[in-house]
Amino acid sequence: MNASHILLDPTAERASAVRALQPRPATLEGLVVGILDISKARGNIFLDRIAEQLAERGIGVKRYRKPTFTRVAPVALKQQIGAECHVVIEGLAD
């Protein structure tokens, strides 16, 4: 490799991170479900229907939207969702 060229790995990971999944609740009754729209075209149509079906069952729903699908959600948004919701549905339509 030429000394004037340095290859950088933008992930800053040598190996994929392994994270354990959180246990799923037995029921959604009494919980607040967060719905995160990642801002892809027409994703809101699918998520609107999910929100309607949850609300029909008496499940609390809070809606959120990322500013853009090209980046991860801002830390403040993730913290807000974590503070306000018990479970989250994230969806896109491609």
DSSP summary character for residue 5: -
Number of DSSP helices (H) and strands (E) in the chain, helices first: 2, 3
Q: What is the pLDDT tens value at each position of the chain, 94 positions in all? A: 445 666 555 565 666 667 787 889 999 999 999 999 998 888 888 899 999 999 999 999 999 999 998 888 999 999 999 999 999 998 766 6
> Tokens 């479970």 sit at which residue?
87
Which residues touch 90 (CB under 8 Å, ≥6 apart)? 35, 36, 38
32-37, strands of its sheet edge to edge: 60-65, 32-37, 87-91
pTM: 0.74
Determine whether 37 is exposed, middle or buried from the number of CB atoms within 10 Å of its CB (0-12, 13-18, 19+): buried
List pLDDT tens digits, range 69-78.
888 899 999 9
